[in-house]
Each structure stands twice: as C-alpha cells, then as structure tokens.
Homo-oligomer: A and B are copies of this chain.
Amino acid sequence: MNNRNADSLRSVTETIIMKLLAGRPMYGYEIIREVEERSGGAFRWKEGTLYPCLHKLEVQHCIESEWDMSQAKPRKYYRLTAAGARELARKLEDTEVVLGALHSLLFA
C-alpha cells in the first residue's frame, strides 16, 4: 500500500497496454508485436501475459472491446475508456516517480 514499487512496477504491463490504446484502438496480437517493436525487443509478451491482462482491464472498465469481423481473421479491438484515461494518467505519474527513484538507487 505504501509501496509504489509494487503498485507501479508490477502493473507495468497494464500501464503499457493503456498507453498504447491511448494512441489508437488495437487488437491483442497487434499489441504484442507493437510492444516488442517499440521496446527494441526488450518486452516480448506471451499470450498468457496479454490476454488475461486485457480481460482484467475490461472488467475494470478501463478499456472496452469490439469485434471486427471484416478482416480475414476476426479481430477484437480494444479502446481506452474515459475512466481508463484517468487511470492511465495516475499510473504514469506513479511510474515516473518510481523510475526516477530506481535511477537514483541503481545508477546515481
């Protein structure tokens, strides 16, 4: 509770997902590839990481989904909700503080 480390680093997967969806609606498979690309290969999520996380965020109404059946393979597109945007802002603030603290501890 008092520990921003736990609340911020451990839920970094959620934060990354919401940050991506703040840019544009995306579908699961696309998110995995985008994260890998934008991170220079540092983050390579498994489906077992991403999909449960998406479902959890949807239950919390931070994101919402819609099937796109017009593609060769059906895609489930996720978009950030207004509540999700607020939650994202909070998480980004916390994460910024934690990353700063981490830098002080490890690289100062």
* Contact indicator A105/B2 (Cβ below 8 Å): no
Number of copies of this kind of chain in the complex: 2
* Chain B CB within 8 A of A35 CB: yes
Task: Point out which of A10, A96, A102 has the most chain B C-beta atoms below 10 A from its C-beta.
Answer: A102
Known: A9-B9, A9-B12, A12-B9. A3 touches B44 (CB 8 A): yes
Task: Jot down 14 A-B pairs with beta carbons below 8 A, ordered by A.
Answer: A2-B44, A3-B44, A4-B43, A5-B43, A16-B106, A38-B101, A39-B102, A40-B100, A40-B101, A42-B97, A42-B98, A43-B101, A99-B102, A99-B103
Q: Interface residues, chain A, CB within 8 Å of chain B?
A: 2-5, 9-10, 12-13, 15-16, 19-20, 35, 38-40, 42-46, 92, 95-108
